Amino acid sequence: MNAKGLFQRIRESKVYYSLIGLIALLIISSVAAPNFLSLNNFITIFRQASILLILSAGLTAVLVTGNMDLSVGATAGLIGCIVAQLIKTGMNVAVATLIGLMIGALVGVCNGLLAGILPGFVATYATNWVMTGLGIVVMHGQVIYDLPPSFTQLGVGYIGPIPNLVIFATIVVVIIYILMSMTTFGRHLYQYGANPLAARYAAVSVRTVMLSAYILCGICAGFAGMLMTARLNAADAAMGSAYGMQTVAAAVVGGTSLAGGEGGILGTVIGALILTIIVNVMNLLGIPSYAQGLVVGAVIIGMVLFDINSRIRREKKLDA
């Protein structure tokens, strides 16, 4: 493929506008903060983005079906705590990790079943509280630290110059990318999200589709929770809560529509990177943390507006 063909393909791709946003942010950042453009800083950015990436990758599958999962942060926190407790009792790390993933899947089943009878937004807002509460119960209101290195290594170790976290995030993103855009399962996710009724008339087993999206999301949350604990070398019931809305923001900034049927994992990767870079560059510039929220909020509004407007303009062009 020649350069022009490649450019054409990028232009037509759905992540085009989020990509423009990311590039603009990169340019502004490197001008504003001279120490931004360095290999070390980029590795830091990717490492900081890893857990957000894993969580929002799973969430994207749910959003594409037109549903919502507000519980990913709390689920991650809960599973991080459970796994820490299991390991503290002397359980083999591999077994504990596996149990963590299975609990994630189980949470997905609960969310999926509830979202079948209630609006997903409400159902998972409720399970969000349930998970947070369970986390406190599991921890007896305390914090655990000093976990064995065989476990913490997952979160703090490196392979060569690359942090393990980045490798895990890459693997998760690639798997979910393949699932969502190259398999019949993925096609059903989009089909269901674009029009649930038509999917039913098209002989798609819609309950299975929705349930599997939530299960995938739950497993990702479980995995992210364990990595969180390993990275911190500690478990605390509240550690996931900060991620709750941030995951939604990452997906939406990346162009995934809350109405379902549109968006994808590439956009979410871009969205998660944008959110992480903003914070990174503000730290480099020494902007106080109390002012950072203001900027993050403004960027989210700006990005989504830009994305929506550009899409509308492109659709009008197609319509003619």
The contact set with other proteins (CB under 8 A) reads 182-188, 190-191, 194-195, 197-205, 261-262, 317-320
Question: Which lies closer to other proteins via its Cβ, residue 159 or residue 320?
Answer: 320
Between CA 151 and CA 96 the distance in angstroms is: 10
Question: Which lies closer to other proteins via its Cβ, residue 153 or residue 195?
Answer: 195
Between CA 299 and CA 297 the distance in angstroms is: 5
Q: How far is the CB of 180 from other proteins (least distance, A)?
A: 11
Number of C-beta neighbours around residue 51 at 10 A:
25
Between CA 222 and CA 101 the distance in angstroms is: 5
Between CA 61 and CA 155 the distance in angstroms is: 25
Question: Which lies closer to other proteins via its Cβ, residue 140 or residue 316?
Answer: 316
Using DSSP bridges, classify how beta strands 162-163 and 158-159 pair: parallel, antiparallel or unpaired. antiparallel
Between CA 47 and CA 58 the distance in angstroms is: 18
Question: Which lies closer to other proteins via its Cβ, residue 226 or residue 265?
Answer: 265
Q: How far is the CB of 111 from other proteins (least distance, A)?
A: 23
Using alpha carbons, list the distances in angstroms from residue 221 to 27, 147, 226, 311: 32, 20, 9, 31
Question: Which lies closer to other proteins via its Cβ, residue 77 or residue 255?
Answer: 255
Q: How far is the CB of 194 from other proteins (least distance, A)?
A: 4
Q: Cβ distance 138 to 85 under 8 Å? A: yes
Q: How far is the CB of 182 from other proteins (least distance, A)?
A: 6
Q: How far is the CB of 18 from other proteins (least distance, A)?
A: 19
Using DSSP bridges, classify how beta strands 144-145 and 162-163 pair: parallel, antiparallel or unpaired. unpaired
Using a 10 angstrom Cβ sphere, with 0-12 exposed, 13-18 middle and 19 or more buried, the burial of residue 14 is middle
Question: Which lies closer to other proteins via its Cβ, residue 111 or residue 191?
Answer: 191
Q: How far is the CB of 261 from other proteins (least distance, A)?
A: 6
